[in-house]
Amino acid sequence: MSEFKALTDAVMKGDIQTAVAETQSALDAGANVQDILDKGLIVAMDEVGEKFSTGQMFVPQMLRSAKTMQECMKLIKPLFQEGQLTAKGKVVIGTVRQDLHDIGKNLVAMMMEGAGFTITDLGVDVSPKDFTQKAEEVGADIVAMSALLSTTMPAMRETIKALQDAGIRDKVKVMIGGAPVTENFALEIKADAYAPDAGSAVIAAKKLLGIS
């Protein structure tokens, strides 16, 4: 049994108060911060992801767990040395140019963050240039784009082109999603992955970066 079971349980239940208190007491007791992250928080979120994808948990419960983890992260993050925090990967995410619909994108961002990715959320109506600049700036592993309108889908192709033109296309993986987006469209524009929903987005992102 993990020494962080109470913390893990609290994150899974979405009990922010208990989880934060457990994190604090683990820190007070001198626990290793990387262990708190890996064996307490990430373990919990992996289990949450598993339960969610098998239909044993609802979206608001999953999001509450993610929020609980974020609150705990606020306590432990400052204790990591610069660059020491081993995140699963850096993701730059946004809805494409002219697309203002962000519920799906927000869900994906929350779930990826919960799964341990570092998220830079550019919001809505993100131009190919902004995607590219931010990806370069943060050294992104993944650029994730969302579109709800078929009329905005061409902006996905343009963003991929912008990444090429900036010479960083081979350094980042590109993921796309949104109601009118299909697997075939992803193949056509040479994106690296398509995800039909937030749960699959996390799985696809892990697969792209070769992490379990």
Partner 1 sequence: MASPDITTFQPRLRVLNREQALAIHTAALEILEKTGFKMEHPRVLEMLADKGCKISDGDWVCMPPHLVEEALKTAPKQITLYDQKNAKAMELANENSFYGTGSDATFTQDLETGERRRTVLQDVSHFAKLVDGLENIDFAMSMANPEDAPIEDIYVYVFAEMVKNTHKPIVFIADSGRDIAKIHEIACLVVGGEEELQSRPFILNYSEAISPLRFPENVMEKLIFCAQKKVPLCLPSGSNAGGGAPVTLAGAMALGIAENLVGLVVHQMAGKGSPFLFGPNVSALDMKSSVVCYGCPEWSLTQAALADMRDEIYGLPIWAFAGASDAKVMDAQAGAEAMFSIITALLSRSNLIHDVGFLEYGSTSSLEMITMANELIAMSRYYVQGIPVNDGTLALEAIERVGRGGPGSIFLMDDHTYNHFMDALFLPKLLDRSRYDAWKNEGGMNLYKRCNMEAKRILLEHEVDPKPDTVLTEIEQILKSS
Three-class SS state of 202: helix
Which residue type does 40 have?
G
Longest dimension (CA), the chain: 55
Per the listing, tokens 């970066």 go with: 209
**Cα gap 164→171, rounded to integer Å:** 10
Instruction: By CB under 8 A, tell whether 184 contacts partner 1.
Output: yes
d(CA 95, CA 103): 10
Mark 71-92 as b/e (b = at least 16 C-beta within 10 Å).
ebbebbeeeeeeeeeeebbbbb
Of 85 and 124, CB closest to partner 1 = 124
Amino acid at 56: Q
Stretch that binds partner 1, among 30-38, 65-73, 113-121, 179-187 (CB under 8 A): 179-187
**Interface with partner 1, residue 135, by CB under 8 A:** no
Please report, as residue ranges, which positions from 16 to 35 form the binding site for partner 1 (by CB under 8 A): none
Q: Which tokens in the block code for residue 107?
A: 């869900």
Determine, following the binding rule CB under 8 A, whether residue 179 of this chain makes contact with partner 1: yes
* From 72-80, 85-93, 100-108, 127-135, span contacting partner 1 (CB under 8 A): 100-108
Query: Residues 180, 187, 190, 211: which binds partner 1 (CB under 8 A)?
Result: 180
Counting contacts by CB under 8 A, is residue 138 touching partner 1?
no
Nearest to 177 by CA among 115, 65, 102: 102
Q: Could you tell me which stretch among 43-51, 101-109, 161-169, 203-211 binds partner 1 (CB under 8 A)?
A: 101-109
Q: Does 103 bind partner 1 (CB under 8 A)?
A: yes
How many whole angstroms separate alpha carbon 60 and alpha carbon 129? Answer: 34
Task: Examine residue 182 and tell whether it contacts partner 1 (CB under 8 A).
Answer: yes
Question: Min. distance of Cβ 198 from partner 1 in angstroms?
Answer: 7
Minimum Å distance from CB 188 to partner 1? 10
154 counts as binding partner 1 under rule CB under 8 A: yes
Q: What share of the chain is helix, strand, coil (3-state, %, to 5)?
A: 55, 10, 35
Q: Which residues contact partner 1 (rule: CB under 8 A)?
A: 55, 58-60, 98, 100-101, 103-104, 107, 149-151, 153-154, 179-180, 182, 184, 197-198
